[in-house]
Amino acid sequence: MRNLTDTELAARVAQDIPDGSYVNLGIGKPTHVSGYVPEGREVIYHAENGIIGVGPTPAEGEEDLELIDASKRYVTPAPGAAYFEHADSFAMMRGGHIDIAVLGAYQVAQNGDIANWATLDNTFPPAVGGAMDLVVGVPTILVMMRHINRDGSPKLLRECTYPLTGLGVVSRVYTDLAVLDITPAGFKLVELTAGNTLDEVQALTEAKIHT
């Protein structure tokens, strides 16, 4: 099997973000997407903790300890950036002002359900953050994740088994093995990572992949 690395996957997602978009990147893998915007496009990144226009990482020694993104990484303001408080930040998200959100997930179901805040392990504290607000307010929800769990179990399912973050909200899923759209029929293949066959990817996917 040919697996995209996290940075290759981020670069792939970045290809699909149009010029002029306002984008929220979830914590973890999705934060890498901002490093791969194709030349000539201006994309404005929103971080839920109160900045729109998230710029590059500061040079070492130039960090401002009170200027971070949602992943708690030090950032800089891009030209045209603004700071604001939390109620305004979530008005941007819930109120439909952000165009695209890229999220990580534990599980995605064929009907577009997403689970990314809690597991079935009661000793593991749940942590929802801004995910439930994003999935109800942002029209395009892209998910970026590994195709399967470390133990080999599938993450692309007929139905999620973990508690849901949102119902029927995912537009497209990018994994290390394939890109899949959510359609009324279920998962539909957009592309396979070069070197993989549909049969190989289907074998690692619980839900049916339509072509």
Partner 1 sequence: MDKRLPDLASAVAPITDGSVIMIGGFGSSGIPFGLIDALLEQGARGLTVISNNAGAQETGIAKLLKEGRLAKVVCSYPRSPGSIWFERRYEAGEIELEVVPQGTLAERIRAAGAGIGGFLTPTGYGTLLAEGKETRVIDGRGYVMESPLHADFALLRAENGDKWGNLNYHATARNFNPVMACAARHSIAEVRHLSDEPIDPERVVTPGIFVHSVVEYGVRP
Burial class (CB in 10 A: 0-12, 13-18, 19+), 189: middle
Closest CA relative to residue 51, chosen from 30, 33, 78: 78
- In the complex, minimum distance from the CB of residue 49 to partner 1, in angstroms, rounded to a whole number: 4
**167 contacts partner 1 (rule: CB under 8 A):** yes
Binding mask 88-107 for partner 1 (x = CB under 8 A): -xx--xx-------------
Closest approach, Cβ 56 to partner 1, in A, equals 15
Neighbours of 29 (CB within 10 A): 20
Q: Which residues, 6+ apart, have CB-to-CB distance to 197 below 8 Å?
A: none
Contact between 45 and partner 1 per CB under 8 A? no
Q: Say how many residues make up the chain.
A: 211
Site pattern 56..75 for partner 1 (x: CB under 8 A): --------xxxxxx--x---
Q: Which is nearer to partner 1, 24 or 205 (CB)?
A: 24
Which of positions 72-91 make contact with partner 1 (CB under 8 A)?
72, 77, 83-87, 89-90
Our answer to whether residue 191 is catalytic in this structure is no
The active-site residue out of 8, 48, 63, 191 is 48
22 binds partner 1 (CB under 8 A): no
The separation between CA 48 and the C-alpha centre of its own chain, rounded to angstroms, equals: 14
Q: List interacting residues with partner 1 (CB under 8 A).
A: 47-51, 64-69, 72, 77, 83-87, 89-90, 93-94, 118, 123-133, 136-137, 163-167
Catalytic residues, by residue number, are 48
